[in-house]
Structure 1
Amino acid sequence: MYRERLVGTEVRSQSARRLQTLLLDYHDFRYRKADHRLSSSAHIIADWQVERLKKTHQDLYQNPHYQAGLEFLLTDLYAPASMTRRDDNIDRVFPKMVKWLPDHLLETLAGLVELNLITQQLDFELAELLDERDIHAAAVTAEDFCVAYRASQKLEQRRKQILLVADVGQQLDRYVRNRTLGWLLTMSRTPADMADLSDLHDFLHRGYSAFRRMDQVNLLIDRLVSREQQVMDNILNGHPEPFVLPDSL
């Protein structure tokens, strides 16, 4: 990994410093998690969460206007198992990022990193809480999940996670409306391959393409946030069917 590049890079703005701090936190979390005995359990919990999200938001997920964007959110931004190389490459090119990218893009990247970090930390905490109760992650039920969720010591982070989804989604939507970004992604394909950054380039291009195809992104984000806030309230209040929401949401 490339922690020394993160530490040794001089940053000159608040946005660059925030991104640097978050990348270091994320780097250290990934390092600790890699060899932990509950690492695979955390991945299983993440998969369980993805399937739960698809069911809760099935109407949105099946909507052709939103499906690509939701798939990107669930498989790229919320994908702890398969993105090690991508994350290493972000660390590797950090010195160039803070040199060439404007602050508003660094701020958006910082939000993406923070959302990914918090999500993985929360899944790992759930894996620990289930392990304390001798519940294997592969056999977890909705009731098991809710019991562990209510025992969480990171409820404020869970509330912040939902708000970060809204913030990051709105920022991404603003950037993909800029046609210059699409042109730059197309033109940078070959240089990215030559620099061994094809996985990072593919990630950026998938996000651009997914959000570019979506209409009324604000409406989608508002629905996601209000529904997930209701799910959280349902779990904490012991609702018998916490993931079943009224049609009005």
Structure 2
Amino acid sequence: MSALTDLQQHLTNFWALPHHQDTELNTKLNEVQAWQQARLQRTHSELFEQPKNQLMADYFLTQLYGGDEFKLLAEQLERILPKAKKLERLAKESALEAGSMGIQAAILAIELDLHLAQWLLAQDLPVTEDNMLAAYRTVDEEDERRVQIGTLKDVCYRTDKHLNSFMLKKAFALAKGTAYRYNFQPLYDFIDTGFKAMKPLKSVSNFIEPFCERELEIIDEVHDTDNGSKPLSFDVS
């Protein structure tokens, strides 16, 4: 299965999610995502605020975790994908795979937060820290959250591998003019944004490893119901 076929399946799954036809649910999802973005920013402030990491942090928060921005990208991709077979001849398959996996990661984040939003809406609860903790524990998608973190890590390492290959990087750069001419700009720019975000990093592992380690610790803490305690600010000491 090609990267573009995978991408089409991801988009089909995205448009099948119920919030597209439910205004109230969509509003609650937006509130959950805004809370999540603020929480990520707070939890990883030391990592995100380092000058070399700022583009990568922005990529995480607006591209891999972007609500309205991602929906606009999905709408654009939906229009161009039926004609996008030409793009497979313009850009290396590995670059398209990285882009497809990035979009899959964004959709997975939306889907998991959608389940939280559905529970909060059913309980008629606002998006607060205590209510988010209750939602996490009731919905109980600990394993799925771990998959989400693993997918993010895979996206970063695949993109970094492409960026550090001179031949692949050159081929992708040469494809820009043709990609734009054939109206493949949204997908090209999504992939290119990831490349640019990683460029200042001496090593992508210095960003993604501490990020994932902290997130996995938080998942452990949130779902540890045996000790009768709750994490402070969804954080760990």
TM-score, with length taken from structure 2 = 0.83
From 106, 109, 119, the equivalent of 1:116 is: 106
- AA at the equivalent of 2:73: R
**Partner residue of 2:147?**
160
Asked if the contact 2:109–2:148 (Cα under 8 Å) also holds between the matched residues in 1, the reply is yes
- AA at the equivalent of 2:11: L
Asked if the contact 2:91–2:175 (Cα under 8 Å) also holds between the matched residues in 1, the reply is no
Sequence identity of aligned pairs in percent? 23
Structure 2, unaligned stretches of length 5 or more?
none
Query: Aligned-pair RMSD on alpha carbons?
Result: 2.5
Asked if the contact 1:170–1:217 (Cα under 8 Å) also holds between the matched residues in 2, the reply is yes
Asked if the contact 1:182–1:208 (Cα under 8 Å) also holds between the matched residues in 2, the reply is no
The number of aligned residues is 229
In the aligned structure 1, how far is the partner of 2:184 from the partner of 2:166?
22
Q: Secondary structure at the match of 1:65?
A: helix
TM-score, with length taken from structure 1 = 0.80
**Partner residue of 1:35?**
21
In the aligned structure 2, how far is the partner of 1:211 from the partner of 1:61?
13
Q: Check if 1:225 corresponds to 2:212.
A: yes
- AA at the equivalent of 2:21: D
Asked if the contact 1:115–1:161 (Cα under 8 Å) also holds between the matched residues in 2, the reply is yes
Cα deviation for residue 204 of structure 1 reads: 3.0
Q: Check if 1:243 corresponds to 2:227.
A: no
Cα deviation for residue 84 of structure 1 reads: 2.9
Cα deviation for residue 234 of structure 1 reads: 1.1
* Correspondence 1:52-63 to 2 at 5 A: 52-63=39-50
Cα deviation for residue 17 of structure 1 reads: 4.8
Structure 1, unaligned stretches of length 5 or more?
1-12
Deviations 1:113-152 (A, max 9, x none): 221111001111111111122113xxx2211110101011
